[in-house]
Amino acid sequence: MQLGSMFAIYFLIWFLCLFVVLPFGVRTSEEVGQEKVPGQADSAPHEFRFFRTVLRTTLLAAVVFGLFYANWEYGWITIRSFDGFLSAPESLRQ
């Protein structure tokens, strides 16, 4: 796999992981016991920790990309793994 392809795939995985990580650890002002700012939505987080979220996302993306790359190198799951899903069963072919 070329280096540019690796960066592009990691970038896509990173953003996917970002949306997976975002809801974890979020607490609203009501849950923390503090007053809301006027006009604040009830579901708005009390305190957003940007660097913690980026760190968690980066670590998760590194693990997922590592699994992806290992599968690319060793071929654990290939297109042939899905042959039963992609084609009609023998009983229906004529």
Domains of the chain, by residue range, sit at: 3-92
State residue 93's pLDDT score: 59
Give the predicted TM-score (pTM) of the model.
0.76
Burial class (CB in 10 A: 0-12, 13-18, 19+), 16: middle
pLDDT at 91: 65
Question: What is the residue-level pLDDT of the chain in tens, covering all 94 positions?
Answer: 899 999 999 999 999 999 999 999 888 888 888 888 888 888 888 888 899 999 999 999 999 999 999 999 998 988 777 776 656 666 655 5
**φ, ψ of residue 45 in degrees (nearest 5):** -65, 145
